[in-house]
Chains A and B, each alone.
Chain A
Amino acid sequence: MQSIDIEQEVKDLDKKIKGIKTKEDLENIRIEYLGRNGKINKLGQEVKNIPDQQKSEFGKKLNEYKKTVTDKLYSIKISEKKEESYLNISAPVKTTPAGNFHPTTLTTQELNKFFNYYGFSVLEGPEIENDFYNFEMMGVPKNHPARELQDTLYIKEPELLLRTQTSNEEARILEKKELPIRVVIPGKVYRNETANKTNGAVFYQYQGVYVDVNVTMGNLKWIFEKALKFILGEDTTIRFRSKYYPEVEPGLSPDIQCKFCHGNGCEICKYRGWIEIAGGGMIHPTTLTKAGIDNKKYSGFAFGWGLDRVVMQKYNIPDQRLLYSGNIIYDYI
């Protein structure tokens, strides 16, 4: 063979390309032409048999041929498309995988929207905290039980710790004194406690703070009622009673009537008829003073609840430990 009939070769190739149905077909043709022992390489090996004066002509043609073959073969797209779908709409099919938010995110975002509507901003605050903001400012003096090694996870005892409550951010925002303050603080908190069904070593709190002139317990009752009905349904019955928390005075705590026994007492509510759901009260005058806020001119309330409990109830999650251990596996992927 001393010359190449490129036109004929390309025609042949085009025919073969038309016949391609699968990736294997394409690969076979690629090997036939471009493989180690393919047509192009074989032609290349023949160069030595070509008379010298024709060598450059032959080489040029061979290169041109190679480029044409390469361009054609590599530009073929094979979609392994099946025949027109014969399925009809009654056939069982695979569900499309959809993305999901974590239940805690969903609950937090719903609550944030609710509080945004009433003029609350959302803050988060640091998780690595010092003693002053986590305890000292929040009415937990040096010898308070909550300060002890057993309850708090320390990075450097006694100064540096993992916050035990979102109140650290309350302390920080109070200290900025940009009044009025109207914020909610959702976030992770840490305790040195062995996890059980209802309490983990890491859990979420949801806290609210409102400071202005003339803020009253009546206002706190109002926002509690609105928020709890928003979370748990308009048919929720709420009562308010006095309860001690070191960071507030007076303390005010809402209970919701047990929906299983309608207040008559059952196993779910530990025969109380009511379920403790949240805590709150008027920000302790000492806390305001420490923040440099005149506690005779301004007053404020703070409230909070364990967010996980709300999440668990909303999404029927029986054990707190499932929430943050990667054991929530979305079922429809």
Chain B
Amino acid sequence: MKVPINWLKNYIDIEHSSKEFGDIMTNLEFMQDGPIKNEVIDLEVRQNRPDVLSILGVAREYAAFTNKPVRYPEQKNDIKVAWGTQKKIINVEAEDIVIRFTAVKINNIKINISPDYIKENLQAYGIQPINNIVDITNYVMLEYGIPMHAFDTNKLSIAENRALLNLRMAQNGEKFTTWQGTKVTLDTNDLVVADANNRLVSIGGITGEEESGISEGTKNIILEAANYEYAYIRRTAVKHNIVTESSIRHSKILPSNMVGIAIKRALTLIQELAGGEIELVEDYYKKKQENITIKFESSEIERLSGLKLEDSVIENLLLRLGFEVLSKNNNVWEVKVPSWRTDITLEADLVEEVLRLYGYDKIPTTQINTAPPKQITPKILLLENKIKDILVSLGLQEQITEPLIEAQNIENEIVLENPLNKEKNSLRTSLKQTLLPVAENYIKAGKNLFGLFEVGKVYYKNGETFKEEKRVQTIYNNTSTEKIKGDLQALLLKLGINLNKIQTKKEGDVFNYYLDAIIICALHNIGFELYTENIEKIVDINKIPAVHFKTGFVQRIEEQVTVEVKKDSDLSKIEEIFMGESDKIYSVYLTDIYKVNEELNALTFTIVFEDVNKKLTKEYITEIKEKAVYNISKEVIN
């Protein structure tokens, strides 16, 4: 809200510098936005306070702070036309949306330029003056925060027994061109105003058209101000991307009472500056704004803030903000909310009112000194952190990617109903989908040797339910399978998983690891994937990273064995066979491959024997080797 300080001075004495004024308003919850230029200060007004989207609203806040009265504009009381609902000017079809609609038919006005004070104040705010009628609607909107509009009566179609203006919902596909020249196609959720010939003359609460607007030749006008169900107006404004001074205010909860007051103020100015005779006033106002009273215990101030204030201080602060204390019984006060404060409905709201006026800086800062409750951090979060630690220790680079991707037309993928764009219209079903493009970025950036990982979620449909599941994915580039598998083994070992208890299965081009028939990870040529939630069930989080150590002298002998096997043999059996022969074998790993011919490879394995009892003999090792080779020839080669 842009506040020209000189305009504000019409309603209240300003005893602070502009900078001080900005600080005061900021502390009251209206943060100064940007530098003060030409004595105009820009204040941030959040959606709960449409009353402060007005010069008088700002004046009220400053008046509360300084404890000075606001000087409200003069209103002539000699408007002698009866207020009624004859349906000559207005007919309301959209009864669910229109809360109040007040229209005045005025004839024989004189279009002129506005006096300097109106022009200057509007310009200071940022609205260009046009003529006295248009300027008055803008001026009063800014004074009271109630948007107004004027039609040229002669430009509206007339029909027997029909009101001049009909408030209804638009038809699907109905077109409208705003006075700014924007073309919009409306639908049945958009409130519109049509003339007697059913031609659209404005989008309710948002903007009007050029045709029926006020021009130099205008003689007769209809002046209107209204209040609508704000959600409809906001939705229409957002949907058609039309932001106007009117739509900004109508997108919030306006006080209906203020509509009548603002209309009277506008009529006063019109009589003064444009003359004319009021022919008819019609006021559609079925659901009257009610007085709100709140039960308030003053002790709530201390309970919620920690600040102790005397009751008299609390009462004074409330009064200065326009509240009335109607009664006090057993420390329970009955507090009446001023009609312009549509945001106040609860006791806690009153607590905030008292505190913000008293000053948040005066609330004592108090250490939390109760004993901490028991830790409830889920195990899986701790596990994810430990996995990250281990992968980083192996030299991998962590990435976090957006889970939104272009739909892959996979059966179980989750597709969004209102995506931002086609490229982000579904959720990933695999971390690979979003991690592979990162690898491409690395290669583009000239990095060729790397391993990436992401700890995240995948998302999928399972029948009628929507699931999200935690996974870890690694992707390597330019890296041997040996290194990738070696990293995976190191990771599993550090997680405390006994590699000897794992069952493996080659399924397609994936090598799956199972523990008690539950899948825990999958190895591919470019990386591996962990099923984090399954791993969580089998590990002891307090023993990660698992520490493996031996003390003293350990007899360690490394032996090599070469066997010729068919190219596509399942080699996992070889390890199993060796390990099965002796509990003294610490590990078995491939050290060399020779291609013998198109069908056969000669594989050299290193077998590591370890014995803390130092009882390994050459005979024992030879025996184990021979047995293993015999079994391999039986089970793997043939």
How far apart are the CA atoms of A99 and B31 in the complex, in Å? Answer: 44
- The smallest C-beta distance from A74 to any residue of chain B, in angstroms, reads 4
- B486 / chain A contacts, CB cutoff of 8 Å: none
- B375 / chain A contacts, CB cutoff of 8 Å: 116, 121
- The smallest C-beta distance from B150 to any residue of chain A, in angstroms, reads 29
In the complex, B602 has a CB within 8 A of chain A: yes
B306 in contact with A218 (CB, 8 Å): yes
Q: Nearest CB to that of A201 among chain B residues?
A: B420
A-facing residues in B425-453 (Cβ within 8 Å): 434-435, 437-438, 441-442, 445, 447, 449-450
A242 in contact with B28 (CB, 8 Å): yes
- A201 / chain B contacts, CB cutoff of 8 Å: 402, 404, 420, 424
B604 in contact with A123 (CB, 8 Å): no
How far apart are the CA atoms of A219 and B395 in the complex, in Å? Answer: 42
In the complex, A230 has a CB within 8 A of chain B: no
Q: Nearest CB to that of B436 among chain A residues?
A: A326
- Contact partner of B466 among A75, A128, A276, CB < 8 A? A128
Number of interface residues of B (CB under 8 A): 99
In the complex, B217 has a CB within 8 A of chain A: no
A127 in contact with B468 (CB, 8 Å): yes
B449 in contact with A97 (CB, 8 Å): yes
B352 in contact with A249 (CB, 8 Å): yes
A122 in contact with B381 (CB, 8 Å): yes
In the complex, B367 has a CB within 8 A of chain A: yes
A-facing residues in B341-391 (Cβ within 8 Å): 343, 346-349, 351-352, 355-356, 360-361, 363-368, 370-373, 375-378, 381, 385, 388, 391
Number of interface residues of A (CB under 8 A): 95
In the complex, A282 has a CB within 8 A of chain B: yes
- A120 / chain B contacts, CB cutoff of 8 Å: 372
How far apart are the CA atoms of A126 and B46 in the complex, in Å? Answer: 29
- The smallest C-beta distance from B253 to any residue of chain A, in angstroms, reads 10
User: How does the 8 Å CB contact mask read for B1-45 relative to A, with 1 for contact and 0 for none?
Assistant: 000000000000000000000000011110111110000000000
Asked whether A285 and B346 contact (CB < 8 A) given A74-B592, A105-B400, the answer is yes
- A122 / chain B contacts, CB cutoff of 8 Å: 377, 381
How far apart are the CA atoms of A192 and B421 in the complex, in Å? Answer: 10
User: How does the 8 Å CB contact mask read for A73-100 relative to B, with 1 for contact and 0 for none?
Assistant: 0110100000000000000000001111
In the complex, A327 has a CB within 8 A of chain B: yes
In the complex, B562 has a CB within 8 A of chain A: yes
Number of A-B contacts (CB under 8 A): 249
- A249 / chain B contacts, CB cutoff of 8 Å: 346, 348-349, 351-352
In the complex, A228 has a CB within 8 A of chain B: no
B604 in contact with A329 (CB, 8 Å): no
Q: Nearest CB to that of B297 among chain A residues?
A: A296
Asked whether A102 and B399 contact (CB < 8 A) given A218-B306, A244-B49, A249-B346, the answer is yes
B-facing residues in A17-37 (Cβ within 8 Å): 30, 34, 36
Stretch of A2-10, A57-65, A180-188 at the chain-chain interface: A180-188
- The smallest C-beta distance from B61 to any residue of chain A, in angstroms, reads 11
- A74 / chain B contacts, CB cutoff of 8 Å: 560, 562, 592, 594, 602, 604
In the complex, B571 has a CB within 8 A of chain A: no
- B594 / chain A contacts, CB cutoff of 8 Å: 30, 74
In the complex, A265 has a CB within 8 A of chain B: yes
- The smallest C-beta distance from A31 to any residue of chain B, in angstroms, reads 11
- A145 / chain B contacts, CB cutoff of 8 Å: 47, 231, 234, 238, 251
Asked whether A240 and B395 contact (CB < 8 A) given A145-B47, A210-B368, A271-B34, the answer is no
- The smallest C-beta distance from B624 to any residue of chain A, in angstroms, reads 16
In the complex, B305 has a CB within 8 A of chain A: yes
In the complex, A143 has a CB within 8 A of chain B: yes
Q: Nearest CB to that of A77 among chain B residues?
A: B591
Asked whether A223 and B560 contact (CB < 8 A) given A109-B385, A183-B376, A326-B399, the answer is no
User: How does the 8 Å CB contact mask read for A206-237 relative to B, with 1 for contact and 0 for none?
Assistant: 00001010101111011101000000000000
Q: Nearest CB to that of B354 among chain A residues?
A: A250
B-facing residues in A182-209 (Cβ within 8 Å): 182-183, 188, 190, 192-194, 200-202
A-facing residues in B383-419 (Cβ within 8 Å): 385, 388, 391-404, 414, 416-419
How far apart are the CA atoms of A99 and B38 in the complex, in Å? Answer: 55
B391 in contact with A99 (CB, 8 Å): yes
- The smallest C-beta distance from B603 to any residue of chain A, in angstroms, reads 9
- B370 / chain A contacts, CB cutoff of 8 Å: 180, 212
- Which interface residue of A100, A162, A216, A223 has the most chain B CB atoms within 10 A? A216
In the complex, A71 has a CB within 8 A of chain B: yes
Asked whether A192 and B27 contact (CB < 8 A) given A101-B392, A123-B378, A285-B348, the answer is no
User: How does the 8 Å CB contact mask read for A145-159 relative to B, with 1 for contact and 0 for none?
Assistant: 100111011111100
- The smallest C-beta distance from B623 to any residue of chain A, in angstroms, reads 16
- The smallest C-beta distance from B346 to any residue of chain A, in angstroms, reads 6
- Which interface residue of B392, B394, B398, B602 has the most chain A CB atoms within 10 A? B398
- The smallest C-beta distance from B614 to any residue of chain A, in angstroms, reads 24
A100 in contact with B305 (CB, 8 Å): no
Q: Nearest CB to that of B28 among chain A residues?
A: A242
Asked whether A250 and B304 contact (CB < 8 A) given A101-B388, A333-B450, the answer is yes
In the complex, A328 has a CB within 8 A of chain B: yes
B418 in contact with A243 (CB, 8 Å): no
- B349 / chain A contacts, CB cutoff of 8 Å: 249
How far apart are the CA atoms of A190 and B459 in the complex, in Å? Answer: 14
Asked whether A155 and B414 contact (CB < 8 A) given A201-B404, A324-B401, the answer is yes
In the complex, A42 has a CB within 8 A of chain B: no
A326 in contact with B403 (CB, 8 Å): no
In the complex, B235 has a CB within 8 A of chain A: yes
B-facing residues in A281-333 (Cβ within 8 Å): 282, 284-286, 299, 323-330, 333
How far apart are the CA atoms of A240 and B438 in the complex, in Å? Answer: 41
Q: Nearest CB to that of B442 among chain A residues?
A: A329
In the complex, A175 has a CB within 8 A of chain B: no
Asked whether A216 and B304 contact (CB < 8 A) given A250-B352, A323-B400, the answer is yes
- B27 / chain A contacts, CB cutoff of 8 Å: 241-242
A121 in contact with B376 (CB, 8 Å): yes
A-facing residues in B147-194 (Cβ within 8 Å): none
Q: Nearest CB to that of A75 among chain B residues?
A: B560
In the complex, B493 has a CB within 8 A of chain A: no
A-facing residues in B228-281 (Cβ within 8 Å): 229-231, 234-235, 238-239, 251
In the complex, A124 has a CB within 8 A of chain B: yes
B355 in contact with A217 (CB, 8 Å): yes
How far apart are the CA atoms of A89 and B207 in the complex, in Å? Answer: 76
- The smallest C-beta distance from A261 to any residue of chain B, in angstroms, reads 11
B466 in contact with A118 (CB, 8 Å): no
- The smallest C-beta distance from A118 to any residue of chain B, in angstroms, reads 7
- The smallest C-beta distance from B238 to any residue of chain A, in angstroms, reads 5
- The smallest C-beta distance from B270 to any residue of chain A, in angstroms, reads 34
In the complex, B288 has a CB within 8 A of chain A: no
How far apart are the CA atoms of A270 and B355 in the complex, in Å? Answer: 27
Asked whether A333 and B347 contact (CB < 8 A) given A122-B381, A145-B47, A200-B402, the answer is no
How far apart are the CA atoms of A221 and B355 in the complex, in Å? Answer: 14
8 A-B pairs with least C-beta separation: A119-B372, A326-B438, A250-B352, A218-B306, A143-B231, A99-B392, A74-B562, A216-B306
Listed A/B pairs (16) with beta-carbon separation below 8 Å: A74-B592, A100-B398, A101-B398, A119-B372, A122-B381, A154-B417, A154-B418, A216-B303, A240-B360, A241-B29, A242-B29, A244-B49, A249-B352, A272-B32, A323-B400, A329-B447
Known A216-B304, A217-B355, A240-B361; 9 more pairs at CB < 8 Å: A77-B560, A99-B392, A145-B251, A202-B402, A242-B27, A242-B356, A250-B305, A326-B399, A330-B397
Q: Which residues of A contact B (CB under 8 A)?
A: 30, 34, 36, 70-71, 74-75, 77, 97-102, 104-105, 109, 116, 118-124, 126-128, 143-145, 148-150, 152-157, 160, 162, 178, 180-183, 188, 190, 192-194, 200-202, 210, 212, 214, 216-219, 221-223, 225, 239-244, 249-252, 265, 270-272, 276, 282, 284-286, 299, 323-330, 333
